[in-house]
Structure 1
C-alpha cells in the first residue's frame, strides 16, 4: 500500500515531516535535490533522502501536497475544514477553553470564519494571526484587521527559527550535543522586518516565533526599531523558550509580550539540558520567573496541536516545572505562583490581544466567560492539579459544555 500511495506524516512539533518514497517521487525529490535555505533533507550514507524533512525542507513535500489539494472542489475543501472546526470547538469547550488564539490562519480561513461568526456558529471566542509569506500578504490585506462578534483577525504571524528538539532553534552558541551547529534561521531577518512594516501599515500586532536565544535577540533587535512602550503596540514573541539572560529585561523595557507555553518546558525537559548544557538551560530556558520578575507580560497556552489542548497539565507545569509522568523536574526555581499561572491563562492572555476590556477577568461589564472545575487550583495540593476535571464551560454567560 505505501509503495503505491503517497504518505506524509507531520511531526507533532510542526518542524519536521516524514514522507514515503511515493510522496518523494511525486514531489520530485531525489539525491540531486539540494537543501533549501533554512531547512535540511536528511540523507543516508549514499546521499539519498531518507524521507525526513526538517524546517523549510518540508516545503518540498507540502507544496506537492497543496497541488493535490487544489484538485479538490472548493465545496469539498470547505466542508472538510468545517468538520474539523466543529470537532475542535467541542474539544476546546470540553477542556474549559472559552477563547482560542490561533497562530496560523490563511486568507480563505479568515473568510470562512467571518461567515461562521456572522451566522452565530462560533461557540467560543477566536483571535487569529494571519500567516502567509510577505509576498502573499503585501497588497492583499484589504479588510484587515477584522473585528467581529466572536472572531477577530488583528495580528500577523511569522518566524525566525525552528524547534529545539530538532536542532532548529537558532542559538548564539553551538548546541551542547551538536558542536559547530547553531540551528536554523528559517526566515531571513530582512523578510521579518518587511512583515513588521506590513503590521504597522495595517495597524496589526506582529507575532514572531522565536525559540533559540539568537532568534529571540534578533527579534528583540528588530522590534526595538519600531516599538515604543508609550505607543502600546503589544508585539509578541511566540514561545520565547530560550533567552540569553542579558535579553530578559528587554521584554519589559520594549513592551514586548512573552507568549509562552508552560507545557513546552516539561515536554522538552528530557532533552533541553542535553541540547543547551546545564548552565544555559538553568539561566535562560523557559525563564518565566525571571521574565515576570523583570516586569514582562507572560501569557500561557498549549500550542495545540503540538501539545494536547488541555490546559490543566500546562498549568501544572507552570507551577511545578515537573512532568506529569514524574520523569523530570526542570529548574523549579523558574516556576510561577498559582496566581501568576492563572493570570497568564486569563487576564494576561486577554491583554496580549487587546481584549482586556472585553474578557479575561470576572468583573461587571465584561463578557461572562468562565469554567467550573472540580478542584480549586489556587489551593489544592500539587498532585491534585492533574486530577482536576472541567465540570462546565460558559461563554458569554451561556453554558456551552
Structure 2
C-alpha cells in the first residue's frame, strides 16, 4: 500500500465492485428515489461533484447534472429536493462502542472536572434514587483529581456512604470502586487479579485502593461481563446492555452514520444486534469485531469463523478480531519508548512480550483474520508494526488491512511503516483536541512537552501514504462526525480557543474522506460504501450546512437533515 487514497487501491479479485452490479442500461425506467438540487461531494475521484442522483433497488443507478435528471422521475419516484445543500456519502464510523454508552441509569460525570463536582453529581443522583442498591456512574475524567493521581475508595465514600458504587472512566479502561463495592465484589489484598480487571494496591499496606485497571480488557470480555452480572452489578445485565445499544444506534443514524464498526464484542453480544434488527433499531449497518483476549483458543477461533459465516450480509457483518497491545496514557498504562514525564523508569507495559505478540499475529494472519489492535503509546504501536512485519515475512504479503487503533503517540520513525506494511491508521481526531488531551490535561502532562509532536499525527500519516480511517470512539468522545471533523481541521477545543499541535491538522476534504472512503476501505467495504458511485449502496446524508464553505468553527452544530440508507429515507428533518 503506497497511496493515501483508498479508492486508488485495486480491489481483491474475488470481491464484487460497483461495475459488477447492474447499471441503468440493464434496468431502464424511473428511479425509486431521485435526489435533485444538491451539491454532491461524491468522494469519487472519477466524478468529484454532481447535482442529482437516482436510486433504484437500494443502489445508485445514475449520478450527474440536474439538467439530465428528468428521465429518472416517474409516477412512483420519490423526489427529494436538496435545495442546494451539501450531500455526502453516509458516514462510516470505524470505531464506535455502540454497546457501551451512554447509560441513562448511570450518574453522568462528563464535565465534572473536580472531585467536588463528582461528589455533587453523585449526591444529586442518590437523592433522586433513594432506594438504589447500586450507584453506577460513567465518564469520569482522570483530570478531576489534582496532581495526576488516580482515585481511591476514600475519595468516593463521602458521596456514596454504604451503597456500593462503581464509576467507569470516560475511556472505560478503568473502574473506581468505593469501600462498599470492594466488599460486595470480594476485592481484598488476597484477591486483586479480578475477572473484570486488576485492582491497584497501596504500596505501603498492600490493600486495594479502589482503583481497578484493565477494565476494558477484562471487564468488557465475555467472562468479565458474566462475572459482573453474577455479582449483581446492574450495568452488566442484558437489558441494560440492550438499552445502551438501542439508544446509541438511534444516535448514530441521527448523525448520518450509516455504517457503524463496533470494535469489541463477544459471541454472547451478537444476540443484542439480532434483537435490534428484529425490533427495527438496526437502521445503520453494523460491522462487529470479536474480542480476542489472552487465552483465546483455536476452538474459539473456529467459533469466530462460524459466526462470520452466519452474519455476513450488508446489514450485519461479523469478522475482524480486536486485540490489545497496551492500555492508555492517562493512568500511565500505555507502553512508551521512554519513561513517562516525571518518572525515572516507568514506561508502561505491553500485554504481550513482543516476540509472543508477533507469533500470535502471524498465526491469526495465516488464518485470514483481520486484526484491530489497540495501541496508544509509541512502544505499543511499534510492537504492532513489528508484528505485522513478522507476519508478512512468514505468510507473505496479503491484503490484510490490519489496523492500529488510536495511534495516539507515534514515533516519527514509524510513520512511513503504515503505508509500507499496508496497516490502516484508525484514529479519533476529537481525542487530540486540547480540551481532552492538551496542556493541563492528563494525556499531555503524562507524555510531557518533548513528545507532544508525536500526538495524533494525522497529517504526517496522510502525507506518508497511510490510509486514515476516522471515527468517534463513542462514548469516549462525542459520536457526531461534525465534532470529529472540526477537531481534525482545527485541533482546537470544541468551544473555541487556541489550537494544539496544529501542524497535524488536515483539510475538510481529507477529514470527510477519512469518515467515508477511508473507513470503508479499512473494513473491506469500499466496493459497496464510502463514495457516491453508480452501483454502490445508496447510503447518503444531506447536511444543514456546507462544511466546505463555512468557517471551521461553524462545522459543529451542522445537522444531518436527511439520512438515506439503501435508498430508504430513515431520517427526514427537512420537512
CA distance in 2: counterparts of 1:66 and 1:5, whole angstroms? 22
> What is aligned with 2:500?
330
> What is aligned with 1:145?
308
Assess if the C-alpha contact under 8 Å between 2:362 and 2:388 holds in 1: no
Paired residues in the alignment total 396
- Within a 5 Å distance, the mapping from 1:88-103 to structure 2 comes to 88-103=248-263
1:41 equivalent in alignment to 2:200: yes
Residue 212 (structure 2) aligned to one of 53, 75, 78:
53
Q: 1:53 to 1:150 in 2, by over 3 A?
A: same
Q: 1:130 to 1:60 in 2, by over 3 A?
A: closer
State the superposition RMSD in angstroms. Answer: 2.9
CA distance in 1: counterparts of 2:218 and 2:402, whole angstroms? 27
Assess if the C-alpha contact under 8 Å between 2:246 and 2:281 holds in 1: no
Unaligned runs of 5+ in 2: 1-132, 134-159
CA distance in 2: counterparts of 1:289 and 1:61, whole angstroms? 32
CA distance in 2: counterparts of 1:157 and 1:80, whole angstroms? 23
- Within a 5 Å distance, the mapping from 1:204-219 to structure 2 comes to 204-219=369-384
Which stretch of the first structure deviates more once superposed, 293-302 or 221-230? Answer: 221-230
Q: Larger RCO: Structure 1 or Structure 2 (Cα < 8 Å, ≥ 6 residues apart)? A: 2
Assess if the C-alpha contact under 8 Å between 1:315 and 1:341 holds in 2: yes
Assess if the C-alpha contact under 8 Å between 1:227 and 1:233 holds in 2: no
1:15 equivalent in alignment to 2:178: no
CA deviation profile, 1:91-140 (whole Å, cap 9, x unmatched): 11122211111111110122443565578652111012101424345313
CA distance in 1: counterparts of 2:363 and 2:252, whole angstroms? 32
After the TM superposition, which segments of 4 or more aligned residues of structure 1 sit over 6 Å from their partners?
60-65
> What is aligned with 2:328?
163
How far did 1:162 drift? 1.1
CA deviation profile, 1:279-333 (whole Å, cap 9, x unmatched): 3211x21111111111011111110111121121111010111111335421111
Q: 1:328 to 1:187 in 2, by over 3 A?
A: farther
> What is aligned with 1:220?
385
> What is aligned with 1:128?
288
Residue 438 (structure 2) aligned to one of 244, 265, 269:
269
SS at match of 1:98: strand
CA distance in 2: counterparts of 1:70 and 1:319, whole angstroms? 46
CA distance in 2: counterparts of 1:261 and 1:61, whole angstroms? 20
Q: 1:331 to 1:156 in 2, by over 3 A?
A: same
Which stretch of the first structure deviates more once superposed, 130-139 or 50-59? Answer: 50-59
- TM-score, normalised with respect to structure 2: 0.63
CA distance in 2: counterparts of 1:65 and 1:347, whole angstroms? 34
1:244 equivalent in alignment to 2:411: yes
How far did 1:56 drift? 6.0
- TM-score, normalised with respect to structure 1: 0.89
Which stretch of the first structure deviates more once superposed, 88-97 or 272-281? Answer: 272-281
Assess if the C-alpha contact under 8 Å between 1:145 and 1:202 holds in 2: no
Q: 1:68 to 1:226 in 2, by over 3 A?
A: closer
Which stretch of the first structure deviates more once superposed, 284-293 or 179-188? Answer: 179-188
CA distance in 1: counterparts of 2:515 and 2:560, whole angstroms? 15
Which stretch of the first structure deviates more once superposed, 356-365 or 81-90? Answer: 81-90
Q: 1:40 to 1:243 in 2, by over 3 A?
A: farther
Q: 1:227 to 1:375 in 2, by over 3 A?
A: farther
How far did 1:361 drift? 0.4
CA distance in 2: counterparts of 1:203 and 1:336, whole angstroms? 33
CA distance in 2: counterparts of 1:43 and 1:332, whole angstroms? 40
How far did 1:83 drift? 3.0
How far did 1:181 drift? 1.3
